[in-house]
């Protein structure tokens, strides 16, 4: 039986409201040009699967490559123009069906009169650049080459003072999630955990990282995830000491191993970020088994501490300091460090030898979503929370990660929060 595809169907009103909020924030006498981007080449005659620029998607809902948006606020009125590939039966024969203007209008909420064929874009961009009565807005955070080319072209005719980067405005907007965005992340987390549950049914000693990787990718794919939130991580035993071990090798699970999973699906463009540690049977090494249980209990306590600490007004830096203090005490009690403070004589952080990565990060349209990390948390922020401890002396280390919403008084789980010790 095919898996049910989890979608939220974020409607065009979401993108319409985003554009209104954005144009109100940037003020008058400005023309903003944004691009979805071009597909990256994989070979001489093939491209990688395309993911549009995230800010472009946030304002349009359009996911097709070679599309663009011009928004102009001038003399109190706002003009929108969306540029899309024209219908061409010959090109469609070779490269696939193209949407009609009506379909683009239904997705974006932009009126039919404001949707133009892509062939008109170059001329209209030139007019924008030549119009000295408006500032030129661009997205300096875009990773798309066509966006960088636009800035370079604009600077041939305009001074740098006549250009303005709109990324701060868009980041501020994207950091506080609306209800439909939160629901998308919640459903992305659900399908991600369903994929993990399917793997649990079959994982056993003798399976390779590659076997497990393909099972997870398949289970997410059959739920509609064509592009995961990031490269799926399956790390057997000491491979967990390589945090972004996203190219599986043929390491084989043995009884007593821990398998680190880190993966995320997408729903309507929004990412989940889930980490689980699978305990595969038990070994004959009693010390190792005791260390595994001790570390698992620590991770559970760290998660409880983090969930209790997160609330509006605190910063991610304050969260990290709090968590590192907790880990420092545990390391001393376990005899792994002898220092009286968290810094040695050179001022180096001792805990960082065991607590490698930050506890949390913003998430949304990107798994590490655009944010101002130094700012205090606000209600509506969505975070991945992933305390992890890695102990070389014991040969084990892992993290357990869930996704949360910052609420008025604390935080709320968007994923299951399951951190039970389950020996498979």
Distances (CA, A) of 63 to 8, 25, 35, 115, 152: 16, 24, 11, 15, 25
Per-residue pLDDT of the chain (424 residues; tens, 9 = 90+): 556 655 666 899 999 999 999 999 999 999 999 999 999 999 998 999 999 999 999 999 999 999 999 999 988 889 999 999 999 899 889 889 999 999 999 999 999 999 999 999 999 999 999 999 999 999 999 999 999 999 999 999 999 999 999 999 999 999 999 999 999 999 999 999 999 999 999 999 999 999 999 999 999 999 999 999 999 999 999 999 999 999 998 899 999 999 999 999 999 999 999 999 999 999 999 999 999 999 999 999 999 999 999 999 999 999 999 999 999 999 999 999 887 665 654 445 789 999 999 999 999 999 999 999 999 999 999 999 999 999 999 999 999 999 999 999 999 999 999 999 887 7
Contacts of 388 (CB under 8 A, 6+ apart): 275, 299, 355, 356, 357, 397, 398, 399, 400, 401
d(CA 407, CA 400): 22
- Asked whether the beta carbons of 110 and 6 are under 8 A apart, the reply is no
CA distance 236 to 252: 7
Length of the chain as a residue count: 424
Q: What fold, for 179-413?
A: Creatine Amidinohydrolase (3.90.230)
What tokens were used for 283? 């070994």
Q: Hey, do 12-174 and 179-413 end up sharing a CATH topology, with the first three levels equal?
A: no
Chain segment 126-166, per-residue pLDDT in tens: 999 999 999 999 999 999 999 999 999 999 999 999 999 99
Q: Is 27 left (phi over 0), alpha (psi -120 to 50) or beta?
A: left
pLDDT of residue 197: 97
What does CATH list as the number for 12-174? 3.40.350.10
Quote the distance between the C-alpha of residue 193 and its chain's center: 16
> Kind and range of the H or E element at 330?
helix 316-333
Side-chain-facing half-sphere of 198: CA atoms under 13 Å = 20
In the chain, where the domains are located: 12-174, 179-413
Q: Which residue has the tokens 């065009």?
A: 12
Phi, psi (rounded to 5 degrees) for 31: -120, 120
Q: Could you tell me the CA-to-CA distances from 408 to 215, 303, 311, 315 in Å, in that order?
A: 39, 20, 7, 15
Residues 107 and 63: their CA atoms lie apart, in Å, by: 10
**Residue 252 · residue 207 · CB < 8 Å:** yes
- Which 8-state DSSP code applies to residue 176? S
pTM for the whole structure: 0.94
């Amino acid at each position: 039986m095919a898996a049910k595809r989890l979608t939220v169907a974020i409607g065009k009103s979401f993108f319409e409201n985003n554009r209104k909020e954005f144009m109100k924030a940037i003020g008058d006498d400005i023309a903003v040009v944004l691009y979805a981007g071009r597909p990256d080449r994989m070979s001489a005659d093939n491209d990688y699967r395309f993911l549009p620029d995230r800010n472009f998607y946030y304002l349009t809902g359009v996911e097709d490559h070679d599309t663009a948006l011009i928004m102009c606020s001038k003399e109190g009125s706002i003009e929108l123009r969306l540029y899309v590939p024209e219908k061409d039966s010959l090109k469609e024969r070779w490269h696939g069906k193209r949407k009609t203007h009506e379909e683009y209008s239904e997705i974006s909420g932009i009126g039919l009169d404001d949707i133009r064929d892509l062939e008109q874009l170059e001329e209209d961009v030139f007019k924008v650049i030549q119009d000295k009565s408006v500032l030129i807005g661009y997205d300096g955070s875009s990773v798309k080459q066509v966006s960088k080319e636009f800035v370079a072209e604009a600077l041939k005719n305009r001074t740098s003072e006549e250009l303005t980067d709109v990324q701060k405005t868009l980041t501020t907007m994207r950091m506080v999630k609306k209800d439909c965005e939160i629901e998308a992340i919640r459903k992305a987390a659900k399908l991600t955990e369903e994929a993990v549950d399917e793997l649990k049914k079959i994982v056993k000693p003798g399976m390779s990282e590659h076997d497990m990787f393909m099972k997870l990718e398949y289970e997410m794919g059959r739920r509609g995830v064509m592009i995961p939130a990031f490269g799926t991580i399956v790390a057997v035993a000491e491979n967990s000491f390589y945090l972004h071990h996203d190219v599986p090798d043929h390491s084989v699970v043995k009884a007593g191993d821990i398998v680190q999973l880190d993966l995320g699906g997408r729903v309507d463009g929004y990412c989940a970020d889930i980490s689980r540690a699978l305990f595969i049977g038990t070994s004959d090494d009693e010390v190792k088994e005791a260390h595994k249980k001790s570390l698992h209990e620590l991770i559970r306590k760290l998660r409880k501490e983090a969930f209790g600490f997160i609330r509006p007004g605190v910063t991610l830096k304050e969260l990290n300091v709090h968590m590192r203090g907790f880990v420092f005490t545990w390391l001393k009690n376990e005899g792994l460090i002898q220092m009286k403070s968290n810094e040695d004589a050179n001022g180096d952080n001792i805990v960082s030898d065991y607590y490698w990565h930050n506890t949390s990060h913003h998430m949304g349209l990107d798994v590490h979503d655009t944010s101002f990390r130094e700012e205090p948390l606000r209600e509506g922020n969505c975070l991945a929370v992933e305390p992890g401890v890695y102990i070389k002396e014991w040969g084990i280390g892992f993290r357990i990660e869930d996704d949360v919403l910052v609420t008025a008084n604390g935080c709320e789980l968007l994923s299951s929060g399951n951190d039970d010790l389950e020996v498979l």
